[in-house]
Amino acid sequence: MAAEATGKYFQNAQVLSQAPGRREFLRVLSAALERLRPPQVSPAETLVTEARADTLYAVIPHKALAGVSLAARLAADDIAILWARIGGLANHDDLEMGIPVGGFRLPEDGIRRSLALLETELRRPIEVRAMYRDKDTDIAKIEYWIEREGKDIRVGTVLRDRVRCWNLYLPWRVEKYFTTFMTENALPVSAPSGAEGWLKASQTPS
């Protein structure tokens, strides 16, 4: 795929399959992102990756939430939208274990409906829970949550190294912050997505 087909987004798409269905899917997805221009998405961090020969993921990281991402999974006969917290792509476990929020059959109107859902999810509030031990001022754990259909769903967790030796059942002190992909705000608990290293790791021979 020529880089021009996806504009500023998914710049690594040209190294993957030239299948027309994939090409069209990424073209319309990129056009939607160009129209929305979500401020918490850095175009250079968006990427595509193949989990299997018949499965493509288009990954849209939140640039300040340590790998929390939206992804669209394109398979042979369906599209799914999911949330995931990605630590790397040496394998695709983080994506395979993501939280699906909708799936649509192809070739019907799956692309149109999946893009509408993706836009809804881009606007969905993300609750960031910074968790401390007692009077400690250092964050011990960060959790990322969304609310969907009346249920709180955890989409990712970051543990600081030293929390591993503590009793996790003792009370936490929790501070909460909110953001979305569509709101540019400065969170005191922000962390880079790390997306620049994901593809390098995925291309390292095992």
pLDDT tens, residue order, the chain (206 aa): 445 555 799 988 765 656 777 888 899 999 999 999 999 999 999 999 887 778 899 999 999 999 999 999 998 889 999 999 998 787 788 888 899 999 998 876 888 899 999 999 999 999 999 988 776 778 888 999 999 889 999 999 988 755 554 555 667 789 999 999 999 988 888 889 988 888 665 554 43
Q: Are residues 111 and 167 in the same domain?
A: no
Structurally, the chain folds into a number of domains equal to: 2
Close Cβ partners of 100 (under 8 Å, ≥ 6 residues apart): 80, 81, 82
- Residue 138 domain flag: yes
Chain centroid to Cα 116, Å, comes to 17
Q: Are residues 32 and 50 in the same domain?
A: yes
- Residue 202 domain flag: no
Please give the backbone phi and psi of residue 143, each rounded to the nearest 5 degrees, phi first.
-120, 145
Return the SS3 of 14.
helix
Q: Are residues 136 and 82 in the same domain?
A: no
Q: Are residues 180 and 104 in the same domain?
A: no
Q: Are residues 23 and 38 in the same domain?
A: yes
Domain boundary among 97, 123, 149: 123
Tens of pLDDT, residues 164-195? 545 556 677 899 999 999 999 888 888 899 88
- Residue 204 domain flag: no
Q: Are residues 17 and 88 in the same domain?
A: yes
State pTM to two decimals.
0.87
- Residue 161 domain flag: yes
Residue 153: closest CA among 130, 170, 129: 129
- Residue 169 domain flag: yes
Distance CA 201, CA 181 (A): 25
Q: How far is CA 191 from CA 62, 142, 151, 152, 185, in A?
A: 10, 11, 26, 22, 13
Residue 152: closest CA among 97, 99, 88, 85: 99
Distance CA 1, CA 131 (A): 44
Q: Are residues 16 and 86 in the same domain?
A: yes
Domain that holds residue 17: 3-123
Close Cβ partners of 67 (under 8 Å, ≥ 6 residues apart): 61, 85, 86, 87, 94, 156, 193, 194, 195
Distance CA 136, CA 158 (A): 17
Cα dihedral 167, 168, 169, 171 sign: positive
- Residue 200 domain flag: no
- Residue 201 domain flag: no
- Residue 198 domain flag: no
Q: Are residues 103 and 185 in the same domain?
A: no
Q: Are residues 62 and 87 in the same domain?
A: yes
Percentages of the chain per state (helix, strand, coil), in multiples of 5:
30, 35, 40
Distance CA 58, CA 171 (A): 39
Distance CA 115, CA 34 (A): 13
